[in-house]
Amino acid sequence: DKYFTCKFRFGHVKVKGVTMPKRFAEMEEDITNWEVNDGDIWVCSFPKTGTTWTQEMVWLIANDLDFAGAEENIQIRVPFLEISSIFDYRDLRKTNKDFNPPVFLDDSLGYIKSLPSPRLMKTHLLWKMLPKQIQDGTKQPKIVYITRNPKDTCISYYNHARLLEGYSGSFDTFCRLFLAGKVSYTPFWDHLFSFWDRRHLPNVLFLKFEELKADLPGVIRKVAAFLEKDLSNEQVDKLTEHLSFENMKRNPAVNYELVTDLYKKFQLTQAPDGVFMRSGQIGEYKVKMTPEQIKEFDDWTEENLRGRDFSFDI
C-alpha cells in the first residue's frame, strides 16, 4: 500500500469496501444523513465514463436549452458533491498564499446545500454511499447514471490521474491498480451493478457512453422524456451540435481548463500538456493496450459478467 499511495498525491481509504480518497472519511457521515430533495437531479457515474458530457446534456434539458446560462462553468451549474475530499485545498493554501479556491471546490457539500431547489449535482459515489433517504426510497430525486467499457475507461482514468491526481506510475501499474480495485471509486463492477440493478426504478435512468456516441439525438430524447421535458426536432439538433466532442473541447465552461490551469500553475500535475477533453473515442484500447493487458481486462470482465444480464457489446 505504501507503494500504491506514493504514486498519487493523496492517500486512499476503504469505505464500505470502496477505495476512496482519504479525505472522504470526513464527509461520509454528512452525505449519508443529508436531507435531499425529490426535485433534484443527480448525475451519477464511475470516473471517466462520460460524466461531464451527461452533466451538460442534463443541465441544458432541465433548463430548457438556456445556452446563454450554459456559459457559466459546469462546476457551478452541476457541482461535484464530494470534490472537496479529493484534494486538500487547505494544505495548498498554507504554502501558496495567493491560492484562493472557489467555494464549490473548498466546501462542495456546503455549496450544494446552499443552492435553491431543484439542484443538479454530480457524484461518483456508489449507490450504497448515497444519502440514506435515496437508498430507502423516502426521497426520489431523478438519477441519471452513465457508464463506459472498462478498457477505455481505464485509459481515460490513467490520463486523468496523471493530470489531476499526481499519479506518477506507469500505465501498466495503473491497469493493475484499476483491476485490483485500488483506484478511487473501484471496484468498477460493484459501481456499475449498484445502479444497473436499480435501472427499473422510476427515478433511475441508465446510460452508456457507447450509446451516446452511436445515437446522441436518441439519447437526448430519452433523457428529455425522463426529465419530463418536450424538445422539438430543431432543439434536439441544436443540442446534439452543442454536445459534439469538438464543441465541448473548445468550450471553457465544460472543458475543465479552469481546474487544469490551476493544477498546472501550482505544478500539481504529472501531465503539463494534458487536457481533460482528450480524445472521446471508443476502442482506443486497441492501440493503447498490449495484447496481455487486453486479455487481463477481458478475462476479468468475463468473470464479473458471468450470470449477469449486462454487456458492453464492443
Nearer to ligand A3P, 15 or 277 (CB): 277
Binding of residue 52 to ligand A3P (CB under 6 A): yes
Nearer to ligand A3P, 120 or 133 (CB): 120
Binding mask 138-177 for ligand A3P (x = CB under 6 A): --------------x---x--x------------------
Q: Beta strands 142-147 and 41-45: pairing type?
A: parallel
Contact 104, 75 (CB under 8 A): yes
Which of 125, 118, 121, 80 lies closest to 102 in space, CA to CA? Answer: 80
Per the annotation, the verdict on 124 as an active-site residue is: yes
Q: How many residues does the chain have?
A: 314
**DSSP character string of 43-58:** EEE-TTSSHHHHHHHH
Contact 175, 193 (CB under 8 A): no
Position among 19, 51, 85, 133 found at the interface with ligand A3P (CB under 6 A):
51
Binding of residue 184 to ligand A3P (CB under 6 A): no
Position among 89, 171, 245, 310 found at the interface with ligand A3P (CB under 6 A):
245
Output the nine-digit C-alpha cell for 219. Answer: 439519447
Nearest approach in angstroms of CB 213 to ligand A3P is 7
Nearer to ligand A3P, 57 or 179 (CB): 57
Alpha carbon distance 175, 197 (integer Å): 26
Write down the H helix ranges in 229-311: 233-242, 245-249, 257-265, 285-288, 291-305
Nearest approach in angstroms of CB 57 to ligand A3P is 9
By CB under 6 A, the count of residues binding ligand A3P is 19
Binding of residue 278 to ligand A3P (CB under 6 A): yes
User: Which amino acids are annotated catalytic?
Assistant: 124
Report the interface residues with ligand A3P, using CB under 6 A.
45, 47-53, 152, 156, 159, 243-245, 248, 277-280
